[in-house]
Structure 1
Amino acid sequence: MNIFGAMYDKTMQWSKHRFAAFWLSFVSFIEAIFFPIPPDVMLIPMSMSKPQSAIKFASYAAIASAIGGVIGYSLGYYAFDFVKYYIELWGYQGQWHKAVSWFEEWGVLVVFIAGFSPIPYKIFTICAGVMQMAFLPFLITALISRAARFLLVAKLAAWGGEKFSAKLRQSIEIIGWSSVGLAIVVYLILS
């Protein structure tokens, strides 16, 4: 079944759309609050299709993510009972407890690490608010870590460019189905 190829082609088509930068920024913003899909799925194809704009795209994503982080922080600070319901609903309890223990142990350094972590960023932004982390260090660290991550991703994708895009397209079904299989195995192990 070849579904990932069609999805890849559509994503590459959307990455060249005139409003792609807006949607990248929007996804980066909402991902720091509640959205489950990281902005990398847009940033990578956009940077591959327009390598000369990769730094600009990464900057948009970083700024929007930091602003979304402020909203996530505020939700944790002012509305944790509301947020707790969704943490449980979406099955993030284990990740939540891990984030809390990291905050207790390392403080603001966790926000920097979170910018690169596979644990959803929204967990850390909300947790920073719940833990009542000092706001200015949170904001500065969030901006630096997200900028570093998105710049790294964008520059690597731009470096590969259209040649990498063509090679990736050839292997996308194997990569896609392997990712699904890995996700199922991880889910079964962690359940």
Structure 2
Amino acid sequence: MTDSSPRHLPPRLPSSIVALACFWGLAEATLFFIVPDVLLSWLALRRPWAQVWRACLWALGGALLGGVLMYGWGRLAAPSALATLQQIPAISLAMCEAVGQQLREQGALALFTGPLTGVPYKIYAVQSGAQQASLWLFLAISVPARLLRFLAVAGLVRLICRAFPAMSVRFRQGLCMAGWSSFYLYYFWHFA
């Protein structure tokens, strides 16, 4: 008789983390300004990689939903969507206009490369809708663009942890908090 119990599988991701990852992805893709990478990197400090991967997928799902909402808002009422975006910290009229220009000049490639430069995904979503870009193309490019970044950030944290195994979890958490604090201090100084 064969034992078919799933003992080789890592523990399931708690539903509270699933909900948080999904909600954070949605929130950041719409009006929130702290990236879900903060949560994902925090999870990478202690959770099994399979759980971190799943959290990345849930954050992606939330981000895609948020992207569709912002795309639709841009398509139906671009002026109000852009005006609202400018109320979010570190988003300016100039940034919104630059994204619009970038999409006109580079097309779909801008959707992939633009958010990697620190320009919020939500602006690309609104401007893609405003320019009547294909929703399916927008989503098709959003999947690898968002997921690769989520995995890269979490993977980098995991690599650092493996490179320095003697570091305590508390010290790693302190480094993670210091890293994100430094990132956002620079980000708001640079883009504000």
Taking structure 1 as the reference length, the TM-score comes to 0.77
Question: What is the match of residue 190 of structure 2?
Answer: 186
> Residue 82 of structure 1 aligns to which amino acid in structure 2?
S
Question: What is the match of residue 141 of structure 1?
Answer: 141
**2:22 alignment partner, one of 22, 25, 46:** 25
**2:39 alignment partner, one of 38, 42, 51:** 42
**Number of residue pairs matched?**
173
Give the 5 Å matches for 1:144-159: 144-159=144-159
1: CA distance, partners of 2:102 / 2:159 = 34
Shift of 1:166: 4.2
Q: Does the 8 Å contact 1:51/1:158 carry over to 2?
A: no
Q: Does the 8 Å contact 1:33/1:122 carry over to 2?
A: yes
Question: What is the match of residue 5 of structure 2?
Answer: none
* Residue segments in structure 2 that go unaligned for 5+ positions in a row: 1-12
Question: What is the match of residue 130 of structure 2?
Answer: 130
Given the alignment of the two structures, is residue 68 of structure 1 paired with residue 66 of structure 2, yes or no?
yes
Does the C-alpha gap of structure 1 residues 132 and 50 become closer, same or farther in structure 2, counting only changes over 3 Å? same
Q: Does the 8 Å contact 1:54/1:155 carry over to 2?
A: no
Does the C-alpha gap of structure 1 residues 151 and 178 become closer, same or farther in structure 2, counting only changes over 3 Å? closer
* Residue segments in structure 1 that go unaligned for 5+ positions in a row: 1-15
SS class of match (1:140): helix
Q: Does the 8 Å contact 2:99/2:124 carry over to 1?
A: yes
> Residue 33 of structure 1 aligns to which amino acid in structure 2?
T
Cα RMSD between the aligned structures?
2.7
Given the alignment of the two structures, is residue 104 of structure 1 paired with residue 101 of structure 2, yes or no?
no
Does the C-alpha gap of structure 1 residues 115 and 178 become closer, same or farther in structure 2, counting only changes over 3 Å? closer
2: CA distance, partners of 1:26 / 1:173 = 21
Q: Does the 8 Å contact 2:29/2:63 carry over to 1?
A: yes
1: CA distance, partners of 2:33 / 2:94 = 16
> Residue 43 of structure 2 aligns to which amino acid in structure 1?
M
Shift of 1:156: 2.0
> Residue 139 of structure 1 aligns to which amino acid in structure 2?
L
Taking structure 2 as the reference length, the TM-score comes to 0.76
Question: What is the match of residue 120 of structure 1?
Answer: 120
Shift of 1:157: 2.2
Shift of 1:172: 6.5
Question: What is the match of residue 80 of structure 1?
Answer: 78
Larger radius of gyration: 2
> Residue 60 of structure 2 aligns to which amino acid in structure 1?
A
SS class of match (1:158): helix
Shift of 1:108: 0.8
Question: What is the match of residue 3 of structure 1?
Answer: none
Q: Does the 8 Å contact 1:29/1:68 carry over to 2?
A: yes
2: CA distance, partners of 1:46 / 1:173 = 12
2: CA distance, partners of 1:151 / 1:59 = 9
